[in-house]
Copies of this chain bind each other. A is one copy, B any other.
Amino acid sequence: MANDQPPRPSRRGFLKAGSAAVAAGASLGATGVAQAALGKTPAHAADPTMAVEPFYGLHQGGIVTPQQSHTYVAALDLTTEKRDDVIALLRAWTNAAARMTQGSTAAPLPPADAANTAANTTDAANANGTYDAASNKGAPDSGDVLGLGPCGLTITFGFGPGLFTHEGKDRYGLASRRPAALVDLPRFNGDQLIAEKTGGDLFIQACANDQQVAFHAVRQLSRLANGVATMRWGQSGFLSGPRGQTPRNLMGFKDGTNNPSTAKPQLMNEFIWAGATPDAPWMEGGTYTVFRRIRITLEHWDNTEVDFQEQVFGRHKYSGAPIGKKNEFDPVDLTEEDKDGNPVIPENSHVRLSNQASNNGAQILRRSYSYNEGTNFYIERWPPWRQETEYDAGLIFLAHQSDPRKGFIPINDKLAKFDMMNQFTTHVGSAVFAVPPGAKPGSYIGAGLFET
């Protein structure tokens, strides 16, 4: 039987554009607007599937990168006892991630040669219809994104507390190198965390302008971890926005407006990038990332009036402007009062409580996505007795900061207690990670932690 398959296709059937302008142009959100304003390619100019983001560099991608339209985030738990295994994994991840972000498969595909013809295996497969996993290394890549283009893929790796100490044990000789800023998050008022959606020793955030490309990256990386680490949780997220505008979240509000501008290096250095602290010099140029899975009771929210919804956020729904203002980017003025002397932006509104003026000047870089995992069926046996299907949808909250003790923790402490939005939201997953700086070509993500 003849087997003359055409040569294997690559993911990149295009002239490599590889410029920051293409990348910026392909992305969504307020940061994209900022970049466009700086005179770069306007946000609608490029095909988002063609965008290429650099992998190597001072910082990892996916932090100040203008937000792509999709993400898949995952956490893994280390099962190995060997420091060398962890290093080998980080090396393999670095190489595969560098390939994939540039539009390639995780590993080279086999040539379309005789070894791969059907004739060689027909009998074996027909004989019993099963395969022997042990004698089988598997395909080099799942192949499900062949032809899709790089899609602006970024892959960001992070280290959870469990890499440093695990059940009181210093598995890899790293306990003394744990950054003080990598705290265990406290319990917040109202938290309903599900253990299997919380924590993790290693973090992967893949963002891309295509859902399958983002998932594909995590899927290949998680497979490379076979025998060394296992998946703890993973989840898919998306943003729908007219390109170049701030996307609306599932509550219908523009989300991301009042982020610190990634176009201002000074702001990024102050609030987002970690410095070379004495306890963790290897974190210089990295950041700390907080993940929260926040379910939103959309059914409940949809039964409220628009003007009430605006009070909850402290912003107008359609324009995105602060209450009483006209334009989305008008400044939030917390001192304004109405004719009766009441604050125009309510005391318990989301933006007042989270604004830097209410938090000793603290700022975080939110880079969140919506999620939509169908429906949950739940039964409550306590009155009012009910048995109901609810949307399992909400926000994958992701925020980067130089120190969570000054960023997420105090802000969320306040929100968890007073935010009017809480009656519609439940935090069901949570994690915090030290996200090391970028790697140099030839090195690997986290080298500074292991080798200096």
Shortest CB-to-CB span from A428 to chain B, Å, is 12
A95 CB within 8 Å of chain B: no
Q: Which residues of chain B have C-beta atoms less than 8 A from A122's C-beta?
A: 311, 338, 342-344, 346
Task: Please tell me if the beta carbons of B5 and A326 are within 8 angstroms of each other in the complex.
Answer: yes
Say yes or no: A125-B311 contact (C-beta < 8 A), given A138-B303, A375-B234.
Answer: yes
Q: Is the CB of B5 within 8 A of A375?
A: no
Q: How far is the CA of A373 from the CA of B371 in the complex (A)?
A: 9
B344 and A138 contact, CB distance less than 8 A: no
Q: State in angstroms the CA–CA spacing of A371 and B211 once bound together.
A: 10
- With A and B bound together, what is the CA distance between A423 and B129 in angstroms? 9
Instruction: Determine if A380 is an interface residue (Cβ-Cβ < 8 Å).
Output: no
User: Given A311-B118, A317-B143, are A240 and B252 also a contact pair (CB < 8 Å)?
Assistant: no
Name the one of B129, B303, B324 contacting A133, with C-beta atoms under 8 angstroms. Answer: B303
Bound together, the chains give a CA A303 to CA B110 distance in angstroms of 15
A311:B233 contact, CB within 8 angstroms: no
User: C-beta contact mask, A228-241 vs B, less than 8 Å → 1, else 0?
Assistant: 00111111101011
- Picked from B125, B219, B236, B298, the residue with its CB within 8 Å of the CB of A298 is B219
Q: A364 to chain B: closest CB distance in Å?
A: 23
A374 at the interface (CB under 8 A from B): yes
Q: Within 8 Å of chain B (Cβ to Cβ): is A19? A: no
- Shortest CB-to-CB span from A135 to chain B, Å, is 10
Q: Which chain B residue shows the least CB distance to A237? A: B374
The interface stretch among A51-59, A242-250, A278-286 is A242-250
Q: Is the CB of B252 within 8 A of A143?
A: yes
Q: Taking the nearest CB of chain B, how far is it from the CB of A67, in angstroms?
A: 15
Query: In the complex, how many angstroms separate the beta carbon of A70 from the nearest chain B beta carbon?
Result: 9
Which A residues between 143 and 179 are near B, CB-CB below 8 angstroms? 143-149
With the chains together, A116 CA to B107 CA distance in Å? 57
A123: which of B9, B326, B342, B373 is its contact (CB, 8 Å)?
B342
Inter-chain contacts of A443 with B (CB < 8 A): none
Within A174-193, the residues touching B (CB, 8 Å) are none
A75-103 vs B: 1/0 string, CB under 8 Å?
A: 00000000000000000000000000000
Contact of A321 among B5, B144, B374 (CB under 8 A): B5
Complex: A4 Cα to B321 Cα, angstroms: 11
Q: How far is the CA of A231 from the CA of B251 in the complex (A)?
A: 19
Instruction: Kindly state whether residue A223 has any CB partner on chain B within 8 Å.
Output: yes
A306 to chain B, nearest CB (A): 5
CB under 8 Å from chain B, chain A span 313-369: 316-319, 321, 323-324, 326, 336, 338-340, 342-344, 346-348
Given known A196-B389, A374-B234, contact A248–B311 (CB-CB < 8 A) = no
Q: Indicate if A262 sits at the interface (CB-CB under 8 A).
A: no
Report Cα–Cα, A223/B391, bound state, in Å.
Answer: 12
Q: Is A121 an interface residue (CB 8 A)?
A: yes
Asked, given contacts A6-B319, A219-B302, A423-B129, whether A389 binds B233 with beta carbons under 8 Å apart, the answer is yes
A269 within 8 A of B: no
In the bound complex, CA of A233 to CA of B391 (Å) = 9
Contacts A144-B248, A374-B235, A375-B234 hold; do A323 and B118 have CB atoms under 8 A apart? yes
Question: A318 is contacted by which of B138, B143, B326 (Cβ under 8 Å)?
Answer: B143
The smallest C-beta distance from A206 to any residue of chain B, in angstroms, reads 12
User: Is A452 positioned at the interface, with any CB of B under 8 Å from its CB?
Assistant: no
CB distance from A371 to the nearest CB of B (A): 8
- Give the chain B neighbours of A389 by CB distance below 8 A: 196, 230-234
What are the residues of chain B within 8 A of A339 when measuring CB–CB?
1, 119
Contacts of A146 in B (CB 8 A): 248, 252, 318
Q: In the complex, which residues of chain B have a beta carbon less than 8 angstroms from the beta carbon of A245?
A: 147
Contacts beyond the supplied A136-B308, A144-B248: 12 A-B pairs with Cβ under 8 Å = A117-B307, A119-B339, A120-B307, A121-B308, A143-B317, A144-B240, A144-B250, A146-B318, A148-B241, A231-B389, A233-B377, A234-B374
A sample of 19 cross-chain residue pairs with beta-carbon separation below 8 angstroms, ordered by A number, consists of A1-B324, A4-B326, A5-B318, A49-B242, A122-B311, A122-B343, A126-B348, A131-B305, A133-B304, A136-B304, A137-B305, A138-B302, A139-B306, A144-B240, A144-B250, A144-B251, A145-B240, A145-B248, A215-B372
